[in-house]
Amino acid sequence: MQTIIEPFRIKSVEPLRFTTREQREKLLEAAGLNLFLIPAADILIDLLTDSGTSAMSTAQWAAMMRGDESYAGSESFYRMEKVVRDLTGFRHIIPTHQGRAAERILFQVVCRPGHVVPSNTHFDTTRANIESTGARAVDLPNPEAADTQSRLDFKGNMDVAALERLIDEEGAPRIPLIMLTVTNNSGGGQPVSMANIEAVKRVASRHGIPLYLDACRFAENAYFIAMREPGYADWAPKQIAQEMFSLADGCTFSAKKDAFANIGGLLCSNDDRVALQETNLLILTEGFPTYGGLAGRDLEAIAVGLEEILEPDYLHYRIVSTEYLGRHIADAGVPIVEPPGGHAIYIDAARMLPHIPRHQFPGQALAVELYRHAGIRSVEIGSVMFGESAPHELLRLAIPRRVYTQSHIDYVVEAILEINQRRAELRGLEIVEQPTFLRHFSARFRQV
């Protein structure tokens, strides 16, 4: 069959609320043209993030009922630990309330001022947690990834030659670990090849530096490897994921992505000394090591979700349906980051709206128009989020897992193509108020 269907049926539904254009105009005005400040009830289709927004399965909800809420030694922890150990092989498995809590604990233990932590591309919370220790976060993406239009199979790869140069310049003792973000979220949701993970591991081992995965989207990355990397077509996604983890010395993980959970995270390693220090910090803010800031029921949801996420039918649908959105808008002339990523499609707003200069935030202007026109929420990843250091002006359409059907996505395609027809009419924005330094959450704008 040619038609790829959602590999689930719907048992419980959540109504969507339609608003009129007039209502949306008022909502936008009240929110200062900042979509983070619009109540979720007034959003028709929410593509703000794929994080924590997954629909859970009947098996996950059923497992939650047996959540063991014991303070110490919860059965739910041991069930989750068994699944994670089988998948990753790591000796120490520490639950946290979400990915950034794992990052904070890890970097507080291993980083000192003057240290440098290289990655293919750090996610913003990872960078912030490294830099809060006085260390420096360095991105070493594959140089060809800078061109949003280049179509590489593994555009999320790290530049291994640049890594070697960095180690020569800084010296291995100043590099507490090397990170690989799979898939590379800030780089367009692009995958990292097994060959690249192996090459980075070889360099890391030669210098005695541990390799960590930021494994948020490990399953999507594994499926890209199965689809694109020679030699892996016959491997199950789980085998590929196991191979990826076997090359690493530890990982941070947000269970809000590839574990279908609405909350949760993990910090894993094979280093007894580091794990002991991490556990001490965990107890300060997250909780006892058998719950780490989560309810027992959340641990159950993660345990089941980690097995469901690796089902080939699900992963095939996931990657192909994200590509469906990307191809339908790109083939009609909307410039996207090519090729389509795993969890999101990124529109290159600077290319789509060349008449809006960077300092007038083309990505934000497009996000506002998409909401005004069709009630769709997306997020700017450009100068609003990163200031002058933003490498591109992008609009990200992140797809929550198992939440929207093809007709929802067709509606998104139609809305984007209608806006593209009259893109010359869109106007830039200026910031009128910026109450906190995290301006993408709090700034208010007006049209210029």
Q: Please choose, out of 92-100, 199-207, 303-311, 399-407, the segment that lies near ligand PLP by the rule CB under 6 A.
A: 92-100
Indicate which single residue of 27, 34, 43, 51 sits in contact with ligand PLP (rule: CB under 6 A): 51
445 binds ligand PLP (CB under 6 A): no
Residues 284-343 binding ligand PLP (CB under 6 A) are none
Residues 176-195 binding ligand PLP (CB under 6 A) are 181, 185
279 binds ligand PLP (CB under 6 A): no
In contact, 151 and 126? CB cutoff 8 Å? no
Give the shortest CB-227-to-ligand PLP separation in angstroms: 21
Q: Which is nearer to ligand PLP, 87 or 216 (CB)?
A: 216
Axis-axis angle for helices 58-65, 296-308 (nearest 10): 150
Q: Please choose, out of 2-10, 37-45, 95-103, 224-232, the segment that lies near ligand PLP by the rule CB under 6 A.
A: 95-103
126 binds ligand PLP (CB under 6 A): yes
144/120 Cα distance (integer angstroms): 12
42 binds ligand PLP (CB under 6 A): no
377 binds ligand PLP (CB under 6 A): no
Q: Which is nearer to ligand PLP, 57 or 120 (CB)?
A: 120
Backbone CA torsion sign across 415, 417, 420, 425? negative
Indicate which single residue of 216, 222, 261, 390 sits in contact with ligand PLP (rule: CB under 6 A): 216
Alpha helices, DSSP H only, in 19-148?
A: 21-30, 58-65, 75-88, 99-110, 124-131
Vertex 289, ends 249 and 125: CA angle to 5°?
60
What is the number of the residue whose Cβ is closest to ligand PLP?
99
Identify the CA nearest to 347 among candidates 397, 383, 399: 397
288/334 Cα distance (integer angstroms): 49
Secondary element (H or E) of residue 298: helix 296-308
Indicate which single residue of 125, 150, 242, 442 sits in contact with ligand PLP (rule: CB under 6 A): 125
DSSP string, 350-395: HHH-TTS-GGG-HHHHHHHHHHHHH-EE-EEESHHHHGGG-S--EE
Residues 55-74 binding ligand PLP (CB under 6 A) are none
Give the shortest CB-423-to-ligand PLP separation in angstroms: 29
318/218 Cα distance (integer angstroms): 13
87/93 Cα distance (integer angstroms): 12
214 binds ligand PLP (CB under 6 A): yes
Give the shortest CB-147-to-ligand PLP separation in angstroms: 22
Interface contacts to ligand PLP, rule CB under 6 A: 51, 98-100, 123, 125-126, 181, 185, 214, 216, 254, 256, 265
